[in-house]
Structure 1
Amino acid sequence: MSLSTPETGLPAPFSPPKPTSLPISDSADRFYLNRVYCVGRNYADHAREMGNDPDREPPFFFAKPADAVFAVTEGVPARGVSVHEVPYPPETDNLHFEMELVVAIGVGGADIAAVDALGHVFGYAAGVDLTRRDLQDAAKAVRRPWDLSKGFDFSGPCSPLVAAATIGHPAAARIWLDVDGDTRQDGDLADQIWPVPDVIAALSRFVTLRPGDLIFTGTPAGVGRIEPGDDVTAGINGIGELAFRVV
């Protein structure tokens, strides 16, 4: 089929990219992604392990490309069993995992009050913010942006979304991540410095949130290195699990 641009009617230079989406649990529908924002240092114990002050300073945000996010197999991986494979990224010798609650925005808005924020949430997922830590550390050392340490291909594996209409808005739940069956992160959503309503309110002062936006809400302590061949299993109780093998 020949494609054309609506402005000119002339042939398009390339086919439009396929929209990025996540599956929705217990539904044939999919959640199509718009933008992906991430919150830095939102758990005090993680802020300390990264050498930062965990006081309740205003949250800060960075972004990932929407197509860095993808759904992975639910369940527990095992050697010899086919699981979702995540390629080890180029230009790094220190790939880290960061397990996070992911918030899916279903109703847009700007300057959203914290008391109204949960009304803008479609649902939740468990996600991993993969990070090229050596690139991030090098960029920080010379005060340069560290976009490429966070926003690379396959850097946002996620579980399927579960609708808030089904599970409500969990404010406390175990959040965990294992590598080869060894628990590396084990925290609770209740330990967030800025809970979900506050995160949404803060972000909506800077940008107009839109349906399809995702927010990765920060990670508890225990972040660390993963290597090719490692099996990662992670989840948030009552929200979802994901599993992948680094290759």
Structure 2
Amino acid sequence: MKNPEIPGLDIPVNNIYCIGRNYAQHAKELGNSVPKIPIVFIKPLGTICYSDTTIELPVQSNDVHFEAEIVVAISKEGKSISQGSALNYVAGYGAGIDFTARDIQSISKKQGQPWTIAKGFDNFAPISTFVPSSQIENPNDLDIKLFHNGFVKQHGNSSEMVFPIANLISFLSSIFTLHPGDLIFTGTPEGVGPVESGDKLEVLLNNGATTLTVNIG
């Protein structure tokens, strides 16, 4: 089977890197310290889905949370990329939701285990159509907003990131060789919360430059 494509860029999705606690206020709302180096985890390909998908809640969890994020798509292969040249490796920017089974994650954290199951259920990483990097004037001033049933629950800006986008690309490439189609979920601002069957979520990047809408089944 072919890997799913990144809408708007027509590049197949490759690896899915995610960054934890990259907004100080979000770290604090969950009672976590602000990290000194990026916290990295990976989602499987089966988590990728698209706008207007209806996401079925897994029977294994009673506490699934939304986490709206700015998502970066990588355009070309790179290793040990400098921060100064990092943004030259970006194909485009989109909106995404890192769904998290918070009850499963809490147990994993207490036991010192990975977060893979809590983050890895099918369709747990919906993404919007991506805006090509050439159309983004300032990646360090990207606005993201999540509406939960019509009410704003999250509102953040890439300027508030603990580790800016260029820093993340440089850091990841110091460990992994980055490839075209790699996605980086750059972390979520404060305001995460639970979803229930029948809910509607809408995420806007840069006041509607691209929009992601999902329904909870």
Superposition TM-score, scaled by structure 1 size: 0.84
Higher mean alpha-carbon deviation, 63-72 vs 32-41, is at 63-72
Contact map agreement 1:94 1:225 (CA 8 A) in 2: yes
State the alpha-carbon separation in 2 of the partners of residues 152 and 145 from structure 1: 14
Residue 48 of structure 1, aligned match among 28, 44, 51: 28
Q: CA RMSD in A?
A: 1.3
The alpha-carbon deviation at position 162 of structure 1 amounts to 1.1
State the alpha-carbon separation in 1 of the partners of residues 21 and 108 from structure 2: 17
State the alpha-carbon separation in 1 of the partners of residues 165 and 59 from structure 2: 33
Contact map agreement 1:42 1:192 (CA 8 A) in 2: yes
What is the one-letter code of the residue matched to 1:66?
L
- Counterpart of 1:193 in structure 2 is 162
- Counterpart of 1:98 in structure 2 is 67
Q: What secondary structure is seen at the aligned counterpart in 2 of 1:127?
A: strand
The alpha-carbon deviation at position 168 of structure 1 amounts to 3.9
Q: Give deviations 1:154-188, integer Å, cap 9, x for gaps.
A: 00011111111222442113211111111111122
* 1:85-124 equivalent positions in 2, closer than 5 A: 85-124=54-93
* 1:120-199 equivalent positions in 2, closer than 5 A: 120-199=89-168
The alpha-carbon deviation at position 130 of structure 1 amounts to 0.4
The alpha-carbon deviation at position 131 of structure 1 amounts to 0.4
Determine if the alignment matches structure 1 residue 230 to structure 2 residue 209. no
The alpha-carbon deviation at position 190 of structure 1 amounts to 1.0
State the alpha-carbon separation in 1 of the partners of residues 11 and 67 from structure 2: 23
State the alpha-carbon separation in 2 of the partners of residues 200 and 169 from structure 1: 16
Matched positions, count: 216
State the alpha-carbon separation in 2 of the partners of residues 245 and 20 from structure 1: 20
- Counterpart of 2:2 in structure 1 is 18
Contact map agreement 2:11 2:180 (CA 8 A) in 1: no
- Counterpart of 1:9 in structure 2 is none
Question: Which consecutive unaligned segments of at least 5 residues does structure 1 have?
Answer: 1-16, 74-83
State the alpha-carbon separation in 1 of the partners of residues 54 and 144 from structure 2: 22
The alpha-carbon deviation at position 192 of structure 1 amounts to 0.6
State the alpha-carbon separation in 1 of the partners of residues 81 and 62 from structure 2: 40
State the alpha-carbon separation in 2 of the partners of residues 144 and 23 from structure 1: 33
